[in-house]
Structure 1
Amino acid sequence: MTESFRNALMTGRVDRIAIALSGLCVAHCFATAMVLGLLATAGGVFDNPLFHEAGLVLAILLGAIALGHGAVAHGYMMPAAIGSLGLGVMAGALTMDHGMQESIYTLLGVGILALGHDLNHRAGR
């Protein structure tokens, strides 16, 4: 592990990046719903399952790195547990048909994951 990456973990930068990614996910979900509602022809790009699966993989990687490091560094497992719950809800949403229910569960999972990252960041102070 490089010194700059270790420094990013220690200062909570990875948690802040993960929280920002959660915010982008919320914006994506909201924008996609709006775009699909207004312009059904634009749905092909953002509605692709691969786009959502890649986002989940990125969320899992960032969560494992930041929340795992936090659990080791500050010794609190609760942020990692809450973040894992959020990831599980997000993964479960991928099994649903596209629609309002999938969006609600995705946004719920993203919010829970962001809470886990926020708690992790606060515990590391």
Structure 2
Amino acid sequence: MPGTGTLDRLAIGLSTLCLVHCVASVFLLTLLASAGGMILHPLVHEIGLALAIALGTFALVKGAVEHGYTLPAAVGGLGLGVMAGALAVPHGSAETVYTMLGVAILALGHDLNRRAAS
């Protein structure tokens, strides 16, 4: 079983991939409308959110149990909530901003979790 620090680093990496996806989608949408449409498919976002929820919940809860601090889990949960809320916003700039904000908050939660475990 990987340690909490490893899980948090993996989750931060997933958050980074999400940010890269958001930025790349905007650029690809402007450059290649057909490729941008495929990358912006709702299923990509739903699968990404499901992975973030599964990995985030597992890592943050595992960390809270190990080190006893709930703040990282609360911050991470807020980030997941913002990310989930972004799915309700129509595609466009607002969705991208909310998603990136949620990803950043979630990554902060994982970083706090990793530090608390150290």
TM-score bucket of the superposed structures, by smaller chain: over 0.9
1:41 corresponding residue in structure 2: 34
Number of positions where the alignment pairs a residue of Structure 1 with one of Structure 2: 118
- State the 1:42 CA deviation: 1.2
Q: Out of 5, 23, 28, which is 2:16 matched to?
A: 23
Larger RCO of the pair (alpha carbons < 8 Å, separation 6+): 2
Q: Which amino acid aligns with 1:95?
A: A
Q: Secondary structure at the match of 1:56?
A: helix
What is the letter of the counterpart of residue 94 of structure 1? L
Considering only CA atoms, is the larger Rg found in Structure 1 or Structure 2? 1
Identity %, equivalent residues: 60
Choose the corresponding residue for 1:66, options 59, 62, 67.
59
TM-score by length of 1: 0.92
Q: CA RMSD in A?
A: 0.7
- Return the offset for 1:40: 1.2
Q: Does 1:84 align with 2:72?
A: no
Aligned residues of 2:76 and 2:109 also touching (Cα < 8 A): yes
Whether 1:9 aligns to 2:3 is yes
Q: Distance in 2 between matches of 1:60 and 1:91?
A: 9
Q: Which contiguous aligned blocks of 4+ residues in structure 1 show a shift greater than 4 angstroms?
A: none
Q: Which runs of 5+ in 1 are unaligned?
A: none
